[in-house]
């Protein structure tokens, strides 16, 4: 191996430190370049993950030392009605925010993909909500959805609908929170879809148009199949986001981690925060964190499985 390298260096003066240094550079430098990431990951990603896992097997309160309880924190969760409520809420909130959000993003991206005036402006405009902070957006929505004097109930009043209890009733509250999420993330996803759509070869559309396919038909039969991997990506990212939903319900409930008077919108993250910081039971909070991770892995596995079988069917057919 050393010989071949020497030959490659064009038979110049025997090897010397220059070549060694060069070799060292090519071999070692990449590791040095990527080292900061892995170091940061180890410090802020891997270590907390493992430490949380260890904490979840202990009974530990803030400021006191831990003692080992094995899987008791997990079995406690299993028997805990509030955990199940939080899990259900996380699921329903995730569903009613992610599904409409991605559908709307797809539609928006399709529209933005047309040749239209001031396209650049619209593209920036759809991203504007994403640039807003969660806190600011949530505070505005809290005002809009105020049951007593909020704009939404006033508007409903004008069209003859009784005021809706946007915070104390379960579904209205969840819909209100999901609207914050949808508002913030639709544009972001739309831009991702738009980028993918622009990579779709134009001749596919031309061919489809020659075959007499309408715009809608083209969207369904050309666009969607072409950007399938991108859609899959956004579904995974949105699922992760939905499982970790925290800021919106926290601020919607007025910085209370109980998620409404009857926990009607307490998510898993809020429940974890409640356990960890309000109550100070770090072990139980860690167990919730790990359950969230396991749920995400499970959902990810299911999604991957669905995609695989789908692709196989496509290829087979």
Partner 1 sequence: MRTSGRTRKAAVIAVAGLAACATLITGCSSDSKDSGSGDGGKSSANEKITLHIGDFGSFGYDDKTGAKLFSEYHALHPNITIVEDNVSDSGAYWNSLKLHLTQNSGLDDIQAIEIGFVANATQPQYASKFVDFKTVKGFNAGDWLDYKEKEATTTDGKIIGVGTDVGPTAICYRKDLFQQAGLPTDRDKVAALWAGDWSKFVDVGKQFKAKAPAGVAFTDSASGLFNAVLASQTQQYTDDSGKLIYDTSTGVQTAWNLSAQAVQEGLTAKLQQFDANNTWSAAFKTNKFATLACPSWMIGQVADNSGPANKGKWDIAQPPQAGNWGGSFLAVPKSGKHVAEATALAQWLTAAPQEVKVFQKFGNIPSNKAALSDPAVLNTTNDYFPGTPVGKIFTATANDIKPAPIGPNDSLVKDTITQNGLLDMEQRGTSKDKAWSNVQAQVKDKVGE
Q: Which of 184, 174, 143 is nearest to 249 (CA)?
A: 174
Please identify which residue in 16, 22, 40, 311 interacts with partner 1, judged by CB under 8 A.
Answer: 40
Name residues whose C-beta falls within 8 Å of residue 229's C-beta, 6 or more positions apart in sequence.
196
**Token pair for residue 149?**
């004097």
Contact between 94 and partner 1 by CB under 8 A: the answer reads no
Contact between 289 and partner 1 by CB under 8 A: the answer reads no
Please identify which residue in 92, 239, 244, 256 interacts with partner 1, judged by CB under 8 A.
Answer: 256
Please tell me the count of residues contacting partner 1 according to CB under 8 A: 47
Q: How far is the CB of 61 from partner 1 (least distance, A)?
A: 8
Q: Stretches 45-53, 239-247, 248-256, 296-304: which one binds partner 1 (CB under 8 A)?
A: 248-256
Q: How far is the CB of 269 from partner 1 (least distance, A)?
A: 16
Q: How far is the CB of 242 from partner 1 (least distance, A)?
A: 23
User: Which residue number, 186 or 284, has a Cβ lying nearer to partner 1?
Assistant: 284
**Token pair for residue 133?**
């902070």
Contact between 43 and partner 1 by CB under 8 A: the answer reads yes
The 122-151 site mask, x for binding partner 1 (CB under 8 A), equals -----------------x--xx--xxxx--
Contact between 35 and partner 1 by CB under 8 A: the answer reads yes
Question: In whole angstroms, what is the distance from residue 126 CA to residue 109 CA?
Answer: 10
Question: In whole angstroms, what is the distance from residue 156 CA to residue 246 CA?
Answer: 28
Question: In whole angstroms, what is the distance from residue 85 CA to residue 296 CA?
Answer: 18
Contact between 254 and partner 1 by CB under 8 A: the answer reads yes
Cα separations (Å) of 273 from 170, 245, 252, 288?
A: 21, 12, 15, 9
User: Which residue number, 38 or 305, has a Cβ lying nearer to partner 1?
Assistant: 38
Q: How far is the CB of 66 from partner 1 (least distance, A)?
A: 13
Q: How far is the CB of 75 from partner 1 (least distance, A)?
A: 13
The Cα angle at residue 243 between residues 313 and 167, in degrees rounded to 5: 125
Contact between 255 and partner 1 by CB under 8 A: the answer reads yes
Contact between 75 and partner 1 by CB under 8 A: the answer reads no
Please identify which residue in 22, 51, 277, 305 interacts with partner 1, judged by CB under 8 A.
Answer: 277
Q: How far is the CB of 274 from partner 1 (least distance, A)?
A: 8
Contact between 310 and partner 1 by CB under 8 A: the answer reads no
Contact between 8 and partner 1 by CB under 8 A: the answer reads no
Name the residues that contact partner 1, by CB under 8 A: 1-2, 20, 23-24, 27-28, 31-32, 35-36, 39-40, 43, 62-64, 80-82, 139, 142-143, 146-149, 165, 167-169, 251, 253-256, 258, 261-263, 274-275, 277-281
């Amino acid at each position: 191996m050393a010989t071949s390298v020497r030959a490659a260096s064009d038979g110049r003066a025997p090897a010397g430190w220059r070549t060694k240094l060069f070799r060292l550079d090519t071999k070692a430098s990449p590791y040095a370049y990527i080292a900061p990431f892995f170091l940061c990951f180890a410090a802020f990603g891997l270590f907390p993950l493992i430490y949380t896992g260890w904490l979840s097997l202990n009974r530990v309160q803030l400021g006191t030392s831990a003692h080992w309880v094995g899987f008791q924190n997990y079995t406690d969760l299993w028997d805990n009605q509030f955990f199940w409520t939080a899990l259900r809420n996380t699921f329903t909130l995730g569903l009613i925010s992610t599904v409409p959000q991605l559908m709307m993003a797809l539609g928006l991206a399709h529209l933005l993909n047309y040749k239209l005036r001031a396209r650049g402006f619209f593209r920036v405009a759809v991203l504007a909500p994403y640039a807003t902070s969660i806190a600011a957006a949530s505070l505005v929505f809290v005002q809009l959805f105020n049951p007593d004097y909020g704009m939404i109930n006033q508007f409903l009043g004008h069209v003859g609908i009784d005021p809706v209890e946007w915070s104390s009733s379960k579904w209205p509250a969840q819909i209100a929170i999901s609207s914050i999420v949808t508002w913030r993330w639709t544009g972001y996803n739309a831009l991702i879809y738009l980028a993918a759509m622009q990579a779709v070869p134009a001749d596919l559309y031309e061919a489809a148009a020659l075959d007499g396919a309408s715009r809608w038909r083209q969207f369904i039969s050309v666009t969607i199949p072409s950007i399938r991997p991108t859609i899959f990506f956004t579904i995974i990212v949105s699922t992760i986001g939905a499982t970790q939903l925290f800021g919106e319900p926290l601020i919607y409930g007025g910085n209370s981690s109980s998620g409404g008077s009857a926990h009607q919108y307490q998510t898993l993250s809020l429940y974890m925060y409640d356990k960890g910081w309000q109550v100070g039971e770090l072990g139980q909070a860690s167990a919730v964190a790990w359950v969230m991770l396991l749920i995400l892995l499970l959902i990810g596995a299911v999604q991957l499985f669905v995609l695989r079988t789908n692709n196989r069917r496509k290829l087979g057919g």
